[in-house]
Every structure is written in structure tokens, then in C-alpha cells.
Amino acid sequence: MRVRTTAEVRLVANDLRRDIIRMLEASSSGHPGGSLSAADIMAELWFGGGMDFDPSNPGDRTHDRFLLSKGHAAPALYAAFYELGWLGEEDVMSLRQLGSRCQGHPDNKVCPGVEACAGSLGQGLSIASGLALGLKADDSPRRVYVLCGDGEMQEGSNWEALMFAAHHGLDNLTMLLDFNDLQIDGHVTDVCSLGDIEAKLGAFGWSVQTIDGHDVGAVHLALERAKDAAGRPHAIVCKTVKGKGVSFMEGQAGWHGKAPSHVEAAAALSELEAERARLDQEVCDD
């Protein structure tokens, strides 16, 4: 697959956001806030050269691996798979319906490209660590990427995985932390603060970067730097905005798990279409 330019990746992120809104409106259920905040990260990973994978084969297990630990952000993953052609229109528009390949949380038994089931928070990093250790044992050059949420880091199992990964020197493992500082009950800092997350990750033996998670160029550079973190797993703390791209959803905890109505979806899509027109011009000027 052709690696897209930074301007083109921004367009992809806009596509992902529009599809997230469309499928959530159709399902009348789901999680827009954390899906929208992760769109730029997902766009860079899957389309900007962040990962090495076979775009023609969603069942491929010989290249890099990706796990969505914050499984409620499944619409962002499905939107990426739709863009890749791994899912069709009928799939994404049947989000959360009985028998759909696009369940409310990713299911690797029904959806092509899903590495592991996600639902209960705090499990993805442990699975990713096990995958990374297995790849090390096989002398594989392949890497493992896992996207976690900041509220999810309140789960104790993540800290066991952090210790495990550092102990085994899993430098083929990269965690991207979608740090939008909002969870279903409010601000993460109010519900159960993570404190100085960068210092904590460093104290657990991880190499750490902090970036603007909506700057796809910064995400690209951070992913490249992560490959140089020899002997240690790497964390990229991505500072993001919940509901990014839709003005009335941005920074609002109430949009954690509430689908937009028809009127709200139309307003959101109108904003995203206007943003796309601006981004199209950037591509022309690139």
C-alpha cells in the first residue's frame, strides 16, 4: 500500500471521523468521544506508514500487530478497516446490530483484521506484551502496537503489564495512550488522577514521548523514534481532545457513550465536510 503524505493522512482522519458519525447515528448507540479523539492516531498507524502490514490480507499474521485496548472506540477501528476495504458499507452501517461483524467492541472471531477481542478495559496491554514476547522468542523483526485510553490506565492489570514488558526488554512493543482527560464519569484527573504519567511510565522502565495526538506528523515521528528505543518498550502519550472534530462534542464527557441524533449527526457531518474542503486545498498545495 502506498504510504500517504501528511496532508493525505489528515484527509483519511477526516474520512474516519465522518464514518464514525454515520455508523453511530445508524446504530443509535456507541461511543463517539473516544472514537473521534483516536482518529488521527489510527489514520497515521494504518495509512501513514506507522505500521508494516499487508493491506490485501486482513488475516495476515506475519507483519506488525495492532490491538485496540480501549475497545469502546471500535468505530474508529472499523472506519479504518472500511477505508482499507476490509469491511463494506453494510458492515459499518450495521454497527452494534445482532449478527453484525461490527460489534460494540471488537470481536476477532467475526471481524477481519481484529487481533484480539476487547471489552473489559485493562486487558489489551497484557495481550500485546505476550504477543511481543512471542515475537521476540521467534526472532521476528515484527512490532506490536496497542492503543490504550487514559481512564483505562486506572486498571491495575496495566501496571502489571508495564512491569512485565520492561522486565523482558520488549523494545518491539509500543503503547499509544489516548490522553483526552475524560472518561464516562468526568475528568480523569478528578475520578482517579494518573498524576505524572510520563514519570510513572519512565519509572516502570519504559521509554516515553509526549506529543499532540492530533498532529499526524508528530505521531509519525514519534512512531519512528519508538523503533530506536532499544532494550525498552516505548510509550507515546498522545494529548488529545475528546470528540475532536465536532465542536459540540469536543471536551464533553457527556459524549463518551451517547450516539448523535439525526439532527446532531447532520450538524457534525456539516462541520466535517467544511474541514474536508480545507484539507483538500492542503493536498492541492502539498
DSSP 153-204: GGSHHHHHHHHHHHHTT-TTEEEEEEE-SEETTEEHHHHH---SHHHHHHHT
pLDDT of 9 over the 90 cut: yes
Report pTM: 0.96
Q: Which pLDDT score, from 0 to 100, does residue 286 have? A: 64
CA atoms within 13 A on the CB side of 86: 21
pLDDT per residue as tens digits for the range 122-155: 999 999 999 999 999 999 999 999 999 999 999 9
Residue length of the chain: 286
Q: Hey, what domains does the chain have and what are their CATH numbers?
A: 6-285 (3.40.50.970)
pLDDT per residue as tens digits for the range 79-126: 999 999 999 999 999 999 999 999 999 999 999 999 999 988 999 999
- Rounded to whole angstroms, the Cα distance separating 43 from 49 reads 9
Judge contact between 47 and 83, C-beta under 8 A.
yes
Q: How confident is the model at residue 1 (pLDDT cuts 50, 70, 90)?
A: low
Q: Mean of the pLDDT values across residues 231-249?
A: 98
